[in-house]
Amino acid sequence: MGEDKGLLEVNGEKMVKQVLEKLMSIGPQIKIITSNKAYKNQGFQLLPDVVPNKGPMGGLLTALIDSPNSNVFIIGCDMPLIPKEAYLHLIRSHQEDRITVASIGGIPNPLFSIYPKSLESNVASLIADEKLKMIDFIRDNKHEVIPMENLAGFDIEHFRNFNSREDLK
């Protein structure tokens, strides 16, 4: 897209703001993994990637290193329409010893998932080996896939990623 997706607007509001508002209502400790200072005015601590330029795996490693908790909830800023109930459903479904990943249409979404902090060294090793595909990481570790289609009022449109300007129309 050539610009930071989270700062673009969907339905008149920045995508990142829509995601953050839902997270705040749930109450976890929220941090934004980015080095883009434009996110500073969102009111949350910004964490640059510990290992830059490694994509979502780098962001996951940063979150795992920083977190004092036993798990981290990862949500992409380009999915602003996901309802709060879906976040809660994923959290309620989580078991401590595994990755809990939401799926939409049978496709797991690594950026709508909960990861145990105990996997921090695994992530660091994969990054060192340039193995950066999150879906491979999930498949190689104990995980549970939670279908979002089971939610009352499910609408596939709520789970779309906005990856291009065309998607914003």
pLDDT at 166: 67
For 133, how many CA atoms within 13 A lie in the half-sphere containing its CB? 5
Handedness of CA 142, 84, 63, 156 (dihedral sign): positive
pLDDT at 28: 67
pLDDT at 161: 85
Bridge partners, residue 9, by sequence: 14
pLDDT at 14: 93
Q: Would you list the DSSP string of 30-80?
A: -EEE---GGGGGGSSEEE--SSTT-HHHHHHHHHHHH-SSSEEEEE-TT-T
pLDDT at 150: 87
Residues 96, 71 contacting (CB under 8 angstroms):
yes
Just give the CATH number of 5-168: 3.90.550.10
d(CA 65, CA 61) in angstroms, rounded, equals 6
Residues 15, 9 contacting (CB under 8 angstroms):
yes
pLDDT at 164: 62
Domain range annotation of the chain:
5-168
d(CA 44, CA 123) in angstroms, rounded, equals 25
Q: Note the pLDDT tens digit of each residue in 47-77.
A: 999 999 999 999 999 999 999 999 999 999 9
d(CA 141, CA 118) in angstroms, rounded, equals 11
d(CA 59, CA 50) in angstroms, rounded, equals 8
* Beta-carbon contacts of residue 30 (< 8 Å; ≥ 6 apart): 20, 23, 24, 44
Name the pTM for this structure. Answer: 0.93
pLDDT at 50: 98
d(CA 10, CA 56) in angstroms, rounded, equals 22
* Residue stretches of the chain with pLDDT short of 50: 1
